[in-house]
Structure 1
Amino acid sequence: MTNRVYAYLRASTKEQDAERAKDELLSFASDKRITIAGWFIENESGACLTRPELIRLIDLAQPNDVLLVEQVDRLSRLNGEDWDKLSCLIKSKGIRVVALDLPTSHMLIQNGDEFTTRMMDALNGMMLDMLAAIARKDYTDRRRRQSQGIVKAKAEGKFRGRQADTDMHERIRKLRDAGMSYSDIHQLTGVARTTISRVIKLHG
């Protein structure tokens, strides 16, 4: 039995509109005659596993609840190891992932017999893995092109140097605000404790 539907919206930076796809998700929900029980919205990199709103959604969800996203890359641009961790966490909670760009997942909203449900779960799992791998490749390709652009800019004397990692600073602040210790933040982000302390002091 399908229970609640939770929508997850993500953008990589503060300059991007994380709520851009909200109307599309609402239209999809209307077509399928389902109600979105909650919205989880954040500006975090899809290549990072430590996303507070996504983790909060997963913690709140119960078996057969639906995690609704616009595209699989909104859920993951993770490397293989981190995607396995996230995928296992989602499966262990019995959460069904439904993505607008993954038509096979749409059937998971409907209640069916046990055989059909298991078959669709298996098919959807394979398709999710494939699209997650494609999203990761797109991410690494884009990063490579950026690196090539920096090399060219340096050669032309136009490169300004490395700027502060504002995304990481914001992530550390959010994790600290959520009550996590320095050790917990270190384990989740891999950032040195001295850096964590400096960032937290910098942002008050």
Structure 2
Amino acid sequence: MNAVAYLRCSTAQQDYTRQKANLDVIAREKNWTLKRTFAEKISGSVKADDRKEFKNLLAYVKVNGIKMVMVSEISRLGRRVVDVLNQIETLHENGIALYVQQFGMASLDRDGKENPTVKLLMQMMSIGAEMENNMRKERQRQGVALAKANGKYQGRTRGSIASPEKTLAKYWDVVNLLKSSKLSLNQISKITGRSPNTVRKVKDLM
């Protein structure tokens, strides 16, 4: 099967060497022919249609018999839910599946039908990525306002314990998967990148 990889970092200081190395290994293990790798350093908040390399990828896969686009995480496609889902739909309309290393699964099965488990995971993680991005911006805004008001920022006291509500809000991705899937704790840990102990802690708090 012919495949391509899409790598993205948000800033010039970041590096996508690890993304490429991991996807190269997966392609070899699955006996996929990795025809090209498209990589760019640009914020995930920028729409895919405005990203040069992603546009090049779409143009390439449509005319070169590509059946699989590989990414390390769903957030590499972007951090806006509608944008991510639109790009996945565009791939599917052309009979092209999306393989997400984060899930270890592809969005289409061998018959070209949508994998319902992957679809659910993609929707949830895309929503989560957008929420996380928005919360980060809000925290930055509040931090600037607080710094201007007080001349300094007082963070969380060392050794303090977060409330159950804050813990559940922090690990929203784990909460969503625990509520809406039948995945094991180890699978959830692998998908979210959270430690098994963290997943267990969240489960106990729910």
TM-score bracket for the superposition, by shorter chain length = 0.5 to 0.7
Q: Which residue is equivalent to 2:6? A: 8
Deviation at 1:103, TM superposition (A): 2.6
Q: Which residue is equivalent to 2:190? A: none
Specify the code of the residue in structure 2 equivalent to 1:67: V
Q: Which residue is equivalent to 2:78? A: 76
Q: Which residue is equivalent to 2:203? A: none
Deviation at 1:64, TM superposition (A): 5.6
Kindly indicate whether the alpha-carbon contact (under 8 Å) linking 2:9 and 2:42 is maintained by their aligned counterparts in 1.
yes
Deviation at 1:70, TM superposition (A): 0.5
Flag the 1:74–1:119 CA change in 2: closer, same or farther, 3 A: closer
Matches within 5 A, 1:21-170: 21-49=19-47, 50-62=50-62, 65-80=67-82, 82-105=83-106, 108=109, 112=110, 114=111, 117-118=112-113, 120=115, 122-157=116-151
Q: Which residue is equivalent to 1:187? A: none
Q: Which residue is equivalent to 1:173? A: none
Looking at structure 1, the residues matched to 22 and 85 of structure 2 have their Cα atoms a distance apart, in angstroms, of 28
The alignment partner of 1:8 has SS state of: strand
Q: Does 1 or 2 have the higher relative contact order (CA < 8 Å, sep 6+)? A: 1
Looking at structure 1, the residues matched to 114 and 86 of structure 2 have their Cα atoms a distance apart, in angstroms, of 22
Deviation at 1:99, TM superposition (A): 0.6
Deviation at 1:39, TM superposition (A): 0.6
Q: Which moved more, 1:141-150 or 1:99-108?
A: 99-108
**Unaligned 5+ residue runs, structure 2?**
154-206
Flag the 1:59–1:48 CA change in 2: closer, same or farther, 3 A: same
Deviation at 1:119, TM superposition (A): 5.0
Deviation at 1:12, TM superposition (A): 0.6
Kindly indicate whether the alpha-carbon contact (under 8 Å) linking 2:107 and 2:118 is maintained by their aligned counterparts in 1.
no
Cα deviation, 1:95-126, whole Å, max 9, x if unaligned, reads 21101011332874xxx3x3xx4253x44333
Please, what TM-score do these two structures have when normalized by structure 2? 0.63
Cα deviation, 1:58-111, whole Å, max 9, x if unaligned, reads 11113662110001111121143x334323322332221101011332874xxx
Aligned length in residues: 149
Report the identity percentage: 27
CA RMSD of aligned residues (A): 2.5
Looking at structure 1, the residues matched to 114 and 73 of structure 2 have their Cα atoms a distance apart, in angstroms, of 22
Looking at structure 2, the residues matched to 78 and 13 of structure 1 have their Cα atoms a distance apart, in angstroms, of 17
Specify the code of the residue in structure 1 equivalent to 2:40: E
Kindly indicate whether the alpha-carbon contact (under 8 Å) linking 2:98 and 2:107 is maintained by their aligned counterparts in 1.
no
Please, what TM-score do these two structures have when normalized by structure 1? 0.64
Specify the code of the residue in structure 2 equivalent to 1:13: T
Looking at structure 2, the residues matched to 14 and 156 of structure 1 have their Cα atoms a distance apart, in angstroms, of 33
